[in-house]
Structure 1
Amino acid sequence: MPQLLSTWAPVVTPFDSDLTPDSERFLSHCRWLLDNGVGLAIFGTNSEANSMSVAEKMQLLDCLGEANLPRECMMPGTGSCAIPDAVALTRHAMGVGINNVLMLPPFYYKGVSEEGLYGYFSEIVERVGSDALRIFLYHIPPVSQVPISVSLIERLLKAYPDNIAGIKDSSGDWSNTRAVIDAFAGTGFRVYAGSERFLLPTLRAGGSGCISATANVNPKAISELAARWQQDDADERQAALNDIRDILESVPVIPALKEIIAHHRNDDVWKILRPPLVNLAEKQRQSLMEALKASGFSM
């Protein structure tokens, strides 16, 4: 595989007042992220992706394609509970020229077997039927409650060494991230932490970087640590990132991201969320903004 970026943002999706995706604001935010050194992991958890239809995602992929943004800097989430939906969206991404996709496991049924999960990913690879496809598995058990084990990765890599490219570990458990890095060291399998909180430990352990919600609002500082992680001030940079992350995690993260973008761009349209998500309460909003201001944060 060609070299990929070390830091990615699960790009926040702007909605109009009628709750349709706002492609103009979406493209503007994507360009800003790229300018600040992070890739576009569109249709992630913080993108409200599972509140969007396959057709809406296809339309946004088409917008990115027509805008001629660099395909190697895109990693759309194409996982779905329904295999045909995952296949259709993955094929559409590849039709736009995007080969790297981030794929959730089927998350509705809980307690499913490793055999069932292998069958799901295997079916998608076989149906897409392209040697160019690169799947990054999405391990987020706090949300999906369907974990992706080391043994499942081993089995998938053995069957599809050209298609299974890496993993995003959003378990929040550094010991799990480290175990996956160690298990596949030297194989080319890329391991991304799900938070910049683990960016420096991941890079030092031989991992690839992070795919992090906070990269939507703090991209430059995160990408700079990834670029300078071997320098003497790396621990200081990591501590500064953690401070901002702590502030963001003091309130619900997705509405917080949209509040921050709306504030710094003086554009309240960015505050719009799709139900069932709701905006921050006024007390939460004030607390968030005051803490960020006191920290010296700015987009």
Structure 2
Amino acid sequence: MSTGSRTSEPKMKPLPAGVWTPVITLYEDTPEQSVDHDAMYKHCQHLVRSGMHGLVYLGTNGELALLAREERQAILRNARRAVADLGKPGYPIVAGISAQSTAETMQLAREAGEAGAGWGLLLPPSYWAKALSTEALLTYFRDVADASPIPIVVYNFPGVTSGVDLDSDQLAALASHPNIVATKLTCGNVGKLTRLTSKFEPAHFGVYGGSSDYLLPTLHAGGHGCVTGLGNVFPRATSMVYDLWAAGKLDEARVLQDKVANAEWACKKGIAQTKYGAWWFVGRKSLGLDANLFNMRKPYLPLGEEAKKWTVETMQVLEAAEDALLRGS
């Protein structure tokens, strides 16, 4: 926990600490590639049963940009039903609500809340990025937060926003808003993370890494967890890094972190690799799902055979640990 000064009021609904999975979207093997809600229901319950601390739907790994508004709402309702059927109706779910205009984003925030999301994950706008001043960016987030029925998590990922990269001063300014509760830093900037954790405790503004390959450095710097695509593949092992750290078992956490970091290297190559790994290690082994359900939505193409082989070989370093943890849980 940060020992820095509290520069904002505690939030009414802070984002829980821990490891979150940005859940992939699964599609029927048809020309239209409609969302396969039955497969996603099974995958959701597997993630929750495996000990994941929270789920993020409609993020980058969820292919938000490729989904219609009606599909987004249906995915959220399906996830809420899946966790309720496990006897966990209050299980934490975040929903991506990003759009380019303030007006559309406000509407997506309202729809996400109606569909059962507890928080909204929001990228900065990026259309004609050089015209977006600091004032424009801050006003965008504040306007959406003012109108949103659910708290906002600021999502900083310059790789998908034409290079728009919120700095620690901009994020600290947003943290003072009563309905902006956290940030996800997929920029991977641990210095930025540390500057923020020096100013805010979790109840005031949560700071999360954007992947699990630097989860322990994030936690040691005062961060509150991470959101990791690798959770789709190895949910027990990724969440266990946090659990071991929280229990003070730092040596065990370090051993597992090393394996997690090496396995996540495959996820760094793209969503297609993450989805193929999720099929190979979860969909194929545990859920009985067809590989084609895990393809990205077109125009993105399936991986070639060499890329599939490399993905499996890279991720296999974590397979034995995941299996042993699941057997012991």
TM-score, length basis structure 1: 0.89
Out of 90, 97, 103, the residue aligned to residue 122 of structure 2 is 103
1:255 lines up with 2:272 in the alignment = yes
Which residue number corresponds to residue 134 of structure 2?
114
Find the counterpart in structure 2 of residue 60 from structure 1: 75
Q: CA deviation at 1:147?
A: 1.6
Partner Cα distance (2:48, 2:81) in 1: 16
| Equivalent residue pairs, number | 292
Q: 1:42 to 1:127 in 2, by over 3 A?
A: same
Question: Is 1:198 paired with 2:221?
Answer: no
Say if 1:10 and 1:245 are closer, same or farther in 2 by CA, change over 3 A.
same
5+ unaligned residues in a row in structure 1: which ranges? none
Distance 1:155 1:295, change over 3 A: closer
User: Per the alignment, do residues 55 and 163 of structure 1 end up closer, same or farther by CA in structure 2, a change over 3 Å counting?
Assistant: same
Amino acid at match of 2:172: E
Matches within 5 A, 1:56-205: 56-67=71-82, 68=84, 70-111=89-130, 112-128=132-148, 130=149, 133-144=150-161, 145-158=163-176, 160=177, 162-185=178-201, 188-205=204-221
For residue 223 of structure 1, what is the aligned residue in structure 2? 239
**Equivalence for 1:14:** 26
Say whether the 8 Å CA contact 2:229–2:267 is kept in structure 1: no
Q: CA deviation at 1:199?
A: 0.9
Identity %: 27
Q: What residue is the counterpart of 2:44 in the other structure?
A: 30
State the shift of 1:77 in Å: 0.8
Shift of residue 166, structure 1, vs aligned partner? 0.5
CA deviation vs aligned residue, 1:25-84 (integer Å, no higher than 9, x gap): 111111111111221111111111111122210121222334436344201111211223
Is the CA contact 1:150–1:183 (under 8 Å) kept in the aligned structure 2? no
Task: Compute the RMSD of aligned alpha carbons.
Answer: 2.2
CA shift at 1:248, angstroms?
4.0
Maintained 8 Å contact 1:41/1:75: yes
Distance in 2 (alpha carbons) for counterparts of 1:65 and 1:243: 32
Q: Summarize deviations over 1:123-145 as a string: whole Å, max 9, x none.
A: 212333x4xx2111001112212
Q: Give secondary structure in 1 for the equivalent of 2:301.
A: coil
- Asked whether 1:40 is paired with 2:55, we answer yes
Task: Give the drift of 1:236.
Answer: 1.3
Q: RCO greater where, 1 or 2, for CA within 8 Å and sep 6 or more?
A: 2
Contact residue 264 and residue 315 of structure 2 kept, 8 A: no
| Greater shift in the superposed pair: 260-269 or 193-202 | 260-269
Structure 1 segments (4+ residues) deviating >3 Å = 69-72, 290-299
| Distance in structure 1 (CA, Å) of the matches to 2:319 and 2:146 | 50
Mapped to 1, the partners of 2:18 and 2:119 lie a distance apart of: 14
Q: 1:235 aligns with which of 246, 254, 277?
A: 254
The answer to whether the 8 A contact 2:18-2:226 is kept is yes
Deviating more after overlay: 111-120 vs 67-76: 67-76
**CA offsets per residue over residues 173-219 of structure 1, 9 Å max, x none?**
22222222223247621001001012111112221100011111011
Q: CA deviation at 1:157?
A: 3.1
AA of the residue aligned to 1:80: A
Q: C-alpha separation between the residues in 1 aligned to 2:15 and 2:143? A: 27
The one-letter amino acid paired with 1:107 is S
